[in-house]
Chain A
């Protein structure tokens, strides 16, 4: 009779483990970077990607034969949207509390932020940011972006065009100041 710790038996790699491992190896780094850009910071980026991977792992039977990259990308975009929605609510509360304390510092901070194109990007509407990040960071086609965001290709084209115009307007405005 031999006593075997249950925990060690649970750690034995399986085909499912390798499925997850492959997905992780293939997409983890690029998706965390994408999430970082969509969120505007690395806070929660890895958590969003982790949730997306875990969600796919739980539904892997349904994903048999489907391309996993686009599915994961869409899950990450959706996860980022959830985080951003939460942030908006938190920010609204913070702004209400701190309105009376906003002073000269905010002008200085704005000038620093506007020094980069990415900072200008953050000021665009959310959907335009998403389209521009997927287009210019992930190098996706209009069709791929439309699938990732769940919008039409025409809408992708429109958001991209408006996004670039918006960037130019922000950069021009800041350079005049």
Chain B
């Protein structure tokens, strides 16, 4: 190349080279890591010192108080989290407690749960899962519902008990593992639309497409990210894109 190349030619070469370079870039799916980081609060050294001093001054009770404040930073709950005091007052009354909790979990709280009664024809989706395989959209007793098979996201074989058996390193940093032998028929909240990606394209390139409310069966279930309300209704459901 030399001076005979025009600006346009250099611009074209630059555009193509950048796109080529970008296409080679590794883009790991790190949503769980981002979500985890987002749920953390930045430590405040002065606050830690005050809490420790208070704990020392007023004994174990103070330590517990200080720790609970440390866990929540400003005293307000971490987004998406439920603090122990909340749990002792109320819980999701009608949610199943299976499947098995993570083996490493050490904090448990005792709560009173009113025996739940599932709506007729529906299953109670297990708490704690926001990924699932979607296999069916159907109407049950006049109410639209989806058939879901819960998944858990694994970033390594030691991430969770369900991840044992995976081989490290896990390609693209994460994968999903089916955690249940059972599928769950869960009602859609009113006005919720199932959204899928056009031909599996990343959402940055193509928008989600709404799935019309009509009986539909996916021969190959699609991975979805879901949100479920306390009364066991799907409040958001859209296809999960993995690079």
**Distance of A28 Cα from B35 Cα, bound (Å):** 13
A172 contacts chain B at the CB level, 8 A cutoff: yes
What 0/1 readout, one digit per residue, does chain B (209-233) give for beta carbons within 8 Å of chain A?
Answer: 0000000000000000111100000
* B243 proximity list for chain A (CB < 8 A): 29
A149 contacts chain B at the CB level, 8 A cutoff: no
What 0/1 readout, one digit per residue, does chain A (138-177) give for beta carbons within 8 Å of chain B?
Answer: 0000000000000000000000000010011001100110
Minimum C-beta distance from B60 to chain A (A): 20
B56 contacts chain A at the CB level, 8 A cutoff: no
B117 contacts chain A at the CB level, 8 A cutoff: no
Docked-complex contact B38 and A121, CB < 8 angstroms: no
Docked-complex contact B82 and A167, CB < 8 angstroms: no
* A175 proximity list for chain B (CB < 8 A): 1-2
Contacts A29-B243, A164-B11 given; indicate if A137 touches B22 (C-beta within 8 A): yes
A6 contacts chain B at the CB level, 8 A cutoff: yes
Docked-complex contact B28 and A46, CB < 8 angstroms: yes
What 0/1 readout, one digit per residue, does chain A (13-31) give for beta carbons within 8 Å of chain B?
Answer: 1111110110011111110
Docked-complex contact A32 and B33, CB < 8 angstroms: no
**Distance of A118 Cα from B22 Cα, bound (Å):** 11
B107 contacts chain A at the CB level, 8 A cutoff: yes
Contacts A29-B202, A46-B28, A58-B38 given; indicate if A14 touches B128 (C-beta within 8 A): no
Docked-complex contact A9 and B128, CB < 8 angstroms: yes
| CB contact between A4 and one of B37, B111, B241 (< 8 Å): that residue | B111
**Distance of A10 Cα from B78 Cα, bound (Å):** 9
Docked-complex contact B203 and A9, CB < 8 angstroms: no
Q: Which residues of chain A from 106 to 124 have a CB within 8 Å of any chain B CB? A: 116-118, 121
Docked-complex contact B87 and A17, CB < 8 angstroms: no
Instruction: Return the chain B residue nearest A7 by Cβ.
Output: B105
B80 contacts chain A at the CB level, 8 A cutoff: yes
Minimum C-beta distance from B221 to chain A (A): 19
Given contacts A8-B127, A12-B228, A29-B243, 11 further A-B contacts (CB under 8 A): A6-B109, A10-B81, A12-B92, A13-B130, A13-B228, A29-B202, A33-B22, A46-B30, A118-B17, A164-B10, A168-B3
Chain B interfacial positions (CB closer than 8 Å to A):
1-3, 5, 7, 10-11, 13-15, 17-19, 21-23, 25-31, 33-35, 37-39, 78-82, 84, 87, 91-92, 97, 101-102, 105, 107-113, 127-130, 202-204, 225-228, 236, 238, 241, 243
